Structure 1
């Protein structure tokens, strides 16, 4: 047998009753000044019972709808990220990453930034499409003219397909 301490529809505590062991007042758990309008009820708990997953309504336990969780993760595998780029875009990125000592310092720095982005991607176990550095990196490729206008947001904001998600 199990007893539950309820206040209105809220289940505050459960107590598995052993022989001769009964909660007779909630002040065992809560100070009297904190709790009012309480009841103790004997119930058979469902196997999946958890505090916060049920409410007390009309004399019985009623499951609550699951809480609205956070938005689905926008994490994808590294391969899925690479596959969001066309083959031509990947070639353009690779060529733009080559250091040429004959080029200007600004052009060499841009090539170095691309190599850093590629190294970060290669070292990642997944890509979070909402991370600031991920977004900045892809947007930088567009600003540098490596990707056509509007393409960065197409890559970053496309819906995440089930096949792109990392296995956890």
Structure 2
């Protein structure tokens, strides 16, 4: 199993189930889009998406939250760019990227449980992150199965 996540040869040959690859493309685009929202929106998505009551905070505090959201968006864009590179050039690493996405999802919810946000309403981002997390788990399972692995072991 570890050899499927960390292959000895990193090439553009994907050995998992083809549905995992088809699922990886929209997940990659979603990661890029979510990151760009945090960078490009005037409020960094803090109030418009996550329902943080920025208008009730002092101007400096609101600006700090917006700046932190933009920095978080930069990290999402960089991770999305790495996913895009894997999708286009190094498909043997798709299972590893799915594992990273699943770990990110699980750890994000763990941190959120320890340090919850005070929001004015239900965050629009929580549903999107849940979809990405579940889809990443399904993609991980699919990427670790497939005929390509059986063919690779028979050819040895």
**Would you say same fold, with TM above 0.5?**
no
The TM-score normalised by the length of structure 1 is 0.37
Give the structure with higher Rg (CA).
1
Looking at both structures, which has the greater relative contact order when contacts are Cα pairs under 8 Å and sequence separation is at least 6? 2
What's the TM-score, normalizing by structure 2?
0.39
